[in-house]
């Protein structure tokens, strides 16, 4: 029987095309559900009695992630200082070290790396916490007490992420430039005045604004993906209970990282 | 007829291919305890979750205070939900909050009271449920029974008119089970709410319920009072009654009081045409025994009396239970009062020849050969009418009581 003969049969075989089709439909369905989920949660940010919970989440997502973000930012700047110094030496352009470091950090590396670090630290926590609330029926308990679970659990986290991501990105950029100074100037002997002059002169407001726009978008994406994965972990077909929470957490972080990079490309292509 | 507070009309719920609720019709009335019973997986919790709106029916209508829920505006449905509280099987306490915060949570989120007022109300509920010492603790630091009370305090914080209990006694030991059911009845009286309870802990729930709903293969097999259920002699009820075997008073080996009541109701339901039913009330004055022999000996005496009662009357269809600390009531179905008197007289002889000897040996073991004590075993026989309650039977038999076996100080036993 050829593949053409099978087309009219009652039970057509599962082909690669069928699998791709199913996967695509599932992906589109999930994206649609996530978009609705985000919209509802976003609208609920502006309801009353939210400020205290948003401040609390800014503390958990923002303040508590600052140390790891600063650490990663410092070492990223230091590595960039080393790599770019030896590259620029070959072209006799060591003076452009400040420009290279600041532009790569502010435009690309700052928003992306900061977002990935926050996703790994706070995003996994969001997914796991909401997942546990879900499987222990605490989400249902909120509903029975006439508390909208999306308003109470999701909206403050999304608001806090949108607030925290740009601030942490700014810290990342700043400490990254200082890291570049440590290696480029203090270790390898580039002129300090040249370094800071190049940083100041090469960075324009467009670069800074672009970095912040990315950070805002990454904040929304990471919080939405992580909360969505945790909130609907009970509907997973690949695991139940604690296993579902674990899988939801893994999916949240992996998906967030992938989506950060995809969104980075899309946003960059619009900004350039 | 009274209008139901909540009504299910042909409610169907499917999960995938499986139909969990199939055209369910049932009514829940105000100020009553309605218990939904049934085997595991028959959709009891699913039914309860439909009342609060955690699940929505695929077909059919749920009517709340005369109005279909699916035709209500959001504000109307919110107003209805504000009257309902839900007690989860696993309590579902917010585990990152203290007891006080858990109880105050619904007030903080749904009311405009000041912080001081909210705290005052929450503390009042905490105090009423005897949780004052636990107010600052987290749920994981509390025992299962205390967590259940916290969940009840939280459920009652907003003064609901309806409280839904999802298997409140499942997984609890008998003492705690008894405590939770007592708690439900006690607080129902105290706070005056309508209770809907899901359980498969029978017969325990029969004794606190005003109405029983039996779910059978996704449909309502029966809806009414327990007595009605027994009289109807439905196969599913027989199946439940069979599960009563094993409900025993741990001390005497007799039926528990609850199981006794169910047997008695079943007997009346099934033998409405049988004329003769008699009862005997046996008692032993434990106070005197306690003073003379100590608590353990008093317990042994009661256990011995229980064993003898069971051994003597079970083979002829009698069933017995301890109804107060030192009284045992036995029902003799198909037995006239004269026959019952003869049975009790024979039993008294056996007591004199065997039981009193045993009691004497217990006394010797407990306090030595110089024991000086009196034991009086009383018995009274009464005729039972179908309309008699158990308390009335006890009263009638108590009035007829006389000493049937005695051990007197220094007699060495076997003396009447």
Each domain of chain B, given as residue ranges in start order, spans 6-242, 257-407
Q: Chain B interface, mutation test: which of A126, A129, A141, A156, most B Cβ atoms within 10 Å?
A: A141
Higher pLDDT, B404 or A29: A29
* Nearest-Cα residue of chain B relative to residue A49: B109
In this structure, the number of other CB atoms found within 10 A of the CB of residue B382 comes to: 23
Whether A138 sits inside 8 A of B92 (CB atoms) is yes
Whether A152 sits inside 8 A of B52 (CB atoms) is no
Does A41 map to a domain?
no
Distance separating alpha carbons of residues B61 and B71, to the nearest angstrom: 9
- Which chain A residues have a beta carbon less than 8 Å from that of B158? 145
pLDDT at res. A4? 46
Chain B residues with CB under 8 Å of a chain A CB are 52-54, 78, 81-82, 84-86, 88, 90, 92-95, 105-106, 109-110, 154, 158
Whether B88 sits inside 8 A of A49 (CB atoms) is no
Q: How far is B158 from chain A (nearest CA, A)?
A: 9
- Which chain A residues have a beta carbon less than 8 Å from that of B53? 143
Question: What integer is the mean pLDDT of B250-260?
Answer: 71
Q: Which CATH superfamily is domain B257-407 in?
A: Reverse transcriptase/Diguanylate cyclase domain (3.30.70.270)
Does A82 map to a domain?
yes
Across A227-231, B152-156, B256-260, least confident range: B256-260
Structural domain boundaries, residue A253? 51-271
> Cα-flanking dihedrals φ and ψ of residue A45, to 5°?
-60, -35
pLDDT at res. B39? 77
pLDDT at res. B171? 63
Q: Is CATH 3.40.50.300 the right assignment for the domain spanning B6-242?
A: yes
Distance separating alpha carbons of residues A115 and A130, to the nearest angstrom: 20
pLDDT at res. A2? 46
Chain A residues with CB under 8 Å of a chain B CB are 49, 136-138, 140-141, 143-147, 152
Whether A147 sits inside 8 A of B81 (CB atoms) is no
Question: What integer is the mean pLDDT of B70-90?
Answer: 89
Q: How far is B79 from chain A (nearest CA, A)?
A: 10
List C-alpha distances in Å: B322 to A42, B242, B251, B373: 64, 21, 9, 24
Q: What total number of domains does chain A contain?
A: 1
Across B236-240, B310-314, B328-332, B362-366, least confident range: B362-366
Residues A228, A42: contact at Cβ < 8 Å? no
Dihedral sign computed on CA atoms, order B390, B394, B400, B404? positive
Confidence label for A210 from pLDDT (cuts 50, 70 and 90): very high
Distance separating alpha carbons of residues B280 and A35, to the nearest angstrom: 74
Instruction: Look at chain B and count its residues.
Output: 416
* Nearest-Cα residue of chain B relative to residue A47: B109
What's the whole-model pTM score? 0.70
């Amino acid at each position: 029987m050829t593949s053409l003969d099978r087309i009219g049969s009652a039970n057509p075989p599962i082909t690669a095309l069928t699998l791709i089709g199913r996967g695509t439909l599932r992906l589109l369905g999930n994206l649609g559900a996530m978009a609705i989920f985000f919209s509802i949660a976003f609208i609920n940010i502006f309801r009353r009695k939210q400020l205290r919970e948003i401040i609390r989440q800014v503390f958990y997502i923002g303040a508590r992630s600052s140390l790891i973000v600063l650490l990663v930012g410092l070492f990223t700047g230091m590595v960039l200082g080393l790599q770019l110094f030896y590259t620029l030496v070959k072209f006799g352009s060591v003076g452009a070290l400040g420009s290279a470091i600041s532009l790569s950090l502010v435009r690309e590396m700052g928003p992306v790396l900061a977002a990935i670090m926050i996703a790994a630290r706070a995003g996994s926590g969001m997914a796991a916490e909401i997942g546990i609330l879900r499987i222990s029926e605490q989400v249902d308990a909120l509903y029975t007490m006439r508390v909208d679970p999306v308003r109470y659990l999701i909206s403050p986290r999304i608001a806090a992420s949108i607030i925290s991501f740009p601030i942490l990105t700014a810290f990342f950029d700043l400490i990254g430039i200082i890291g570049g100074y440590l290696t480029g100037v203090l270790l390898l002997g580039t002129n300090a005045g040249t370094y800071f002059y190049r940083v100041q002169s090469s960075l324009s407001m467009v670069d800074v604004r672009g970095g912040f726009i990315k950070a805002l978008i990454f904040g929304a994406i990471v919080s939405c993906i992580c909360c969505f994965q945790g909130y609907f972990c009970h509907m997973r077909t690949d695991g139940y209970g604690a296993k579902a929470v674990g899988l939801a957490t893994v999916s949240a972080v992996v998906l967030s990282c992938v989506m950060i990079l995809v969104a980075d490309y899309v946003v960059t292509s619009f900004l350039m | 007829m009274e209008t139901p507070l909540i009504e299910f009309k042909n409610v169907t719920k499917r999960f995938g291919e499986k139909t969990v609720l199939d055209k369910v019709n049932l009514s829940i009335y105000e100020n009553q305890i309605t218990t939904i019973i049934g085997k595991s997986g028959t959709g009891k919790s699913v039914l309860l979750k439909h009342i609060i709106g955690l699940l929505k029916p695929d077909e059919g209508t749920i009517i709340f205070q005369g109005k279909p829920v699916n035709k209500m505006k959001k504000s109307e449905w919110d107003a209805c939900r504000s009257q309902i509280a839900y007690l989860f099987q696993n309590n579902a306490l917010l585990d990152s909050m203290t007891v006080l915060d858990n109880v105050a949570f619904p007030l903080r989120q749904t009311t405009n009271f000041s912080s001081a007022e909210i705290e005052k109300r929450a503390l009042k509920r905490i105090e009423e449920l005897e949780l004052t010492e636990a107010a600052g603790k987290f749920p994981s630091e509390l025992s299962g029974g205390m967590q259940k009370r916290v969940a009840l305090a939280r459920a009652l914080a907003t003064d609901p008119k309806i409280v839904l209990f999802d298997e409140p006694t499942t997984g609890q030991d008998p003492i705690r089970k008894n405590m939770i059911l007592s708690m439900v009845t006690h607080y129902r009286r105290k706070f005056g709410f309508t209770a809907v309870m899901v359980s498969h802990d029978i017969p325990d729930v029969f004794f606190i319920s005003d109405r029983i709903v039996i779910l059978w293969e996704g449909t309502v097999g029966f809806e009414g009072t327990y007595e009605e259920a027994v009289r109807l002699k439905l196969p599913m009820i027989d199946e439940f009654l069979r599960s009563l075997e094993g409900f025993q008073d741990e001390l005497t080996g007799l039926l528990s009081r609850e199981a006794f009541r169910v047997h008695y109701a079943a007997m009346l339901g099934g033998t409405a045409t049988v004329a003769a039913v008699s009862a005997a009330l046996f008692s032993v004055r434990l106070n005197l025994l306690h003073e003379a022999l100590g608590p353990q000996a008093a317990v042994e005496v009661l256990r011995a009396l229980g064993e003898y009662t069971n051994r003597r009357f079970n083979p002829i269809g009698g069933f017995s239970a301890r109804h107060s600390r030192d009284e045992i009531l036995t029902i003799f179905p198909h037995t006239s009062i004269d026959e019952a008197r003869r049975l009790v007289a024979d039993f008294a002889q056996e007591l004199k020849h065997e039981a009193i000897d045993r009691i004497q040996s217990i006394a010797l073991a407990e306090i030595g050969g110089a024991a000086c004590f009196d034991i009086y075993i009383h018995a009274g026989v009464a005729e039972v009418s179908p309309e008699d309650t158990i308390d009335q039977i006890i009263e009638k038999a108590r009035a007829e009581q006389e000493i049937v076996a005695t051990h007197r100080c220094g007699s060495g036993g076997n003396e009447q």
